[in-house]
Amino acid sequence: MRSLRPGLLTSLLAGVVAAGSLLAAAPVSHAADAPLRDLAEAKGKVMGTAVTGAKLTGTYGEIAGREFNSLTPGNAMKWASVEPSRGSYNWAEADQIVNFAEAHGQQVRGHTLLWHQQNPGWLTNGNWTRDQLSAVVQDHIATEVGRYKGRLAAWDVVNEPFNEDGTYRSTLFHDTLGQDYIAQALTWARAADPGAKLYINDYNVEGVNAKSTALYNLVKSLKERGIPIDGVGLQAHLIVGQVPSTLQQNIQRFADLGVDVAITELDIRMQLPATQAKLTQQAADYKAVMNACVAIARCTGVTVWGFTDADSWIPDTFPGQGAATPYDENYQPKPAYHAIAEALGGTTTPPPTGACSATYSVTSQWSTGYTGQVRIACSGASLSSWKADWTFGAGQRITQAWNANCTQSGAAVSCVNASYNGSVPDGGSVTFGFNASWSGSNPVPVVTLG
C-alpha cells in the first residue's frame, strides 16, 4: 500500500529514567541460526520484504538477499513510477528489483496495478469517458504485466477498493468504470500473464469486520462468476498490542472460499520512544501474526513493509510513531526478528546477559551546565554499531556532542555512533561526550544500549 520512506529520518528510542543508576546493560543482536527465508521455505511459506531499488547494495542489499525469499517493490511498479507521462515508460527501478530477485533466487510480488494514490497527473486530470478510461487501464495492465510475464509470482491487481464501512471507495476507476472495474482488471491481468497469481489487497481487513466482510463477499461473487481471482492480501499495518483476535479466523474464511491469503505489508508501529516493554510486546505481536499464517495451509506467507526502521514509511505518516520493522535503523535485528524466526520453527542465539553496557558520568559541572560522558564497553560479545538512549529527568538539554551523533526530543536523547567508532571489540570500549545545560538538579539517567 504505502510508500517506503525516501530517506533516513532518525527515530528516537529512549530508555527509562532511574536516577542514581550509572550502568545499564543491553543485548547484542544476533541473527537467527538460519536465515528467515530458509525457515519459511521449510514450511512452504514466503517470507518477503518490500524494498527500495536504489538501496539494494551494501548492508541493505546483503540482508534483503540473505533473509527473504520474496521482494515487493515499494514504489517502483506503481503507475506514477512506470508511466509518468502518457506513453513514456520508466522501468529502471522495477527492472533493478526483478533482476536482483532473480539473482538471489527470490520471487517478486508486483505492486500495484490500480490504486487511488500515486497515479500520474495525466491520468488523474484526464476528462475520460468510460470507454476511454477502460482502454487506458487495459493498455496499462497489458503493458506492465506483459513486460514481466513469467517473471513475477503474483500481482496486487487492485489495491484498497473499500471504505471502512465496506462500501466501495470513490476513485477514478470506480466512479468512471463502475464497481465491475475490479473484475475487468483481473480479467485483463490474467490475459497478460496467465501464470501470475492475482490478488486484491487492502488494509484494516485483517480481522473480521465490515470491511473484510465486504472483501469476502466480493471474492465470493468473483469466484461464482468465474472471474480470475487467486488470493487476497491483508496488508497488516498494525499497532503494538492491537493484533486482531479474529486474524486466524478471518484468514481461514477466505481460504475456505478457495483462494490464497497473503500478509502483504506487515509492520507494527509504536509510540516513540521505544522501550523494552514495547519491543517485547511488538515481538509477541509479530509472532502472533506469523503463527496465524503458519497455521493455515492457504496462507502463502508474510511480507514485511520494509525490514529496517531506516526505510519505513511510518514516521513520516504517523508523527511520533515508528520502530515498526524487524530491524532497527542500524540494521540490527530487534526482538521482532527473533519472534519471526521462532514462529517459523527456528532458534535464535541470545547474547550473553550484560555482555555490553553503557556507563553515564558527569565529568565536570558548573552553575548552568555540565560535561557528560558515556562509555560503551563489551566483555563476551562485540558490536559493529551502537545507539545509546536515555531520558533526562530534570529538564537537561544537550547543546553539543562529540564522537557521536546525538538528537534530543523533549527529554528523550538518542546518540548514534560516528562513522569511525561504531565497532566495539570484545574486551574493548569507546566513549563519547557532550555538553548540556541544567538547572536546579542533575540526576543521572539510565542509558539503554541498542
Nearest residue to 202 (alpha-carbon basis) of 140, 159, 163: 159
Q: What angle do CA 422, 428, 432 make, to 5 degrees?
A: 50
- Who contacts 383 (Cβ-Cβ below 8 Å, separation ≥6)? 28, 356, 376, 422, 423, 424
Contacts by residues 418-423 (CB-CB < 8 Å, ≥ 24 positions apart): 422/383, 422/384, 422/385, 422/386, 423/382, 423/383, 423/384, 423/385
Note if 329 is an active site residue: no
**CB burial of residue 43 (10 Å; 0-12, 13-18, 19+):** middle
- Quote the CA–CA distance of 32 and 397 in Å, as a whole number: 39
State the number of CA atoms in the 13 A half-sphere of 172 facing the CB. Answer: 22
**From 83, 160, 206, 265, the catalytic residue:** 265
Amino acid sitting at position 4: L
- Looking at residue 174, the DSSP 8-state letter turns out to be H
Helices 181-192 and 130-147: crossing angle, nearest 10°? 30
Q: Please name every residue paired with 233 in a beta bridge, in sequence order, or none if there are none.
A: 201, 262
Other CB atoms within a 10 A radius of the CB of residue 288 amount to: 18
Grid cell digits, residue 203: 488494509
β-strand 356-365 against 404-409: which pairing, if any?
unpaired
Cell of 191: 490475459
The closest of 274, 321, 315, 355 to 16, measured between CA atoms, is 274
The C-alpha atoms of residue 392 and residue 371 are separated, in whole angstroms, by 14
Pairing of strands 356-365, 23-26: antiparallel
Cβ neighbors of 2 (< 8 A, separation 6 or more) are 237, 265, 305, 313, 317
What's the CA gap between 422 and 373, in Å, rounded? 16
- Which residue numbers are catalytic? 265
